[in-house]
Chain A
Amino acid sequence: MNPPVAGDICPPQRYTHSTVQLFRFSAVSWNSHRIHYDAGFAASEGFPDVVVQSTLHGETLTRYALAWAGPNSRLETVSWRNRTTAVADEPLTWTGTVQTVEGAHVSLEVAVLKADGSPCVTGTVQLALV
């Protein structure tokens, strides 16, 4: 990969979270909130299916940015804001754009988009190139 410059766009990547993944992530993160694994309960709170965990969004956005930057990168800071919820099996897309490059430090603006292109999660990932 060429050295990143501001304005570089990370190739968007489509994905979905399965109900099995949401259950396993809840289990491994000791998160027993029922909106993440009980569709009936999620419906009672107004959601169409079990809800993707906020921390799973942050984790996968981070991994998307690190995968784009390559093996000689490491995470320094990640910050994200949940704009709306996403649910199991919903088609989602990760996107990223380089905002700044200062020496070995790269800041990317990242997002999770819904199928209609609206933002589900927006945030910033700061990486160090080592």
Chain B
Amino acid sequence: MNALDEVLTRARSLVGRWEDEDCGTVTVKDFCRYAAALNDADYIDRARKREATGEPVEAPALFLAATMSWEDGPPERELRPDGLATRESPCTAGLPVRQVHGGQTVRLLKSPVAGCRVTASRAVTSAERKQGRSGAFVLLGLTTRFTSADGTELTAVDETIVVMEALDSPGAA
């Protein structure tokens, strides 16, 4: 079995198995740091002014969707060679593959506000072997639903991950 077959087997065994992750209580500082990375000084000014007057502060629109993991994370020695934590890509751990994002669909249902506790529920939804111009790959589909403590759905994300053989792998293009 080659690496892509193994990815496919692992992914198919995970399809439909939902896992919850506690994202914690989101804060104005979290939002502002995110906005700072986007050079959005106006958001920071508005958010801090609203915070000072006790008004609710909404997160930047894609704040939840853009955050890759809400875990504390492992120490560096436990990261994979590509820098990802094993948990962030369970279908590819230890295999000679590389991966990139295929794309995303993000639906905003209700903006999270600072002070809101958020849960992310994730599942692999599909796994298909494909053939592209540069060789074979596996296309993984993942879904994440973000909800607040009262069960209100905040953001829904459907994304695809493209998994290819490593460049130095015998079967790589």
Contact = CB atoms under 8 A, between A and B. Distances in A.
Interface of A: 21, 24-25, 27-35, 38, 41, 44-46, 51, 53-56, 58-60, 62-63, 66, 74-82, 85, 123
A25 B38 contact: yes
Given A30-B70, A62-B62, A81 B103 contact: yes
A38 B76 CA distance: 15
Interface in B53-100: 61-62, 65-70, 73, 79, 82-85, 98, 100
B108 A28 contact: no
Interface in B25-63: 33-34, 36-40, 61-62
A106 to B, nearest CB: 15
Contacts of B85: 32
A55 B104 contact: yes
B38 A32 contact: no
A64 B33 CA distance: 20
Contact of B108 (A25, A29, A75): A75
Nearest to A77: B107
A21 B39 contact: yes
Contacts of B14: none
Given A76-B107, A82-B103, A85-B100, A58 B167 contact: no
Contacts of A77: 105-108
B164 to A, nearest CB: 9
Given A29-B68, A55-B101, 10 more contacts: A24-B36, A25-B37, A30-B68, A32-B83, A33-B82, A45-B98, A54-B100, A58-B65, A80-B103, A82-B102
B167 A45 contact: yes
Q: What 3 pairs between A and B have smallest CB-CB spacing?
A: A54-B101, A81-B103, A34-B83
A55 B40 CA distance: 16
A78 B106 contact: yes
Contact of B68 (A31, A78, A123): A31
A130 B54 CA distance: 24
Contacts of B34: 28-29
21 contacts: A29-B66, A30-B68, A32-B79, A34-B83, A35-B82, A44-B167, A45-B167, A51-B100, A55-B65, A55-B68, A56-B66, A58-B66, A58-B106, A75-B61, A76-B108, A77-B107, A77-B108, A80-B104, A81-B102, A82-B101, A123-B103
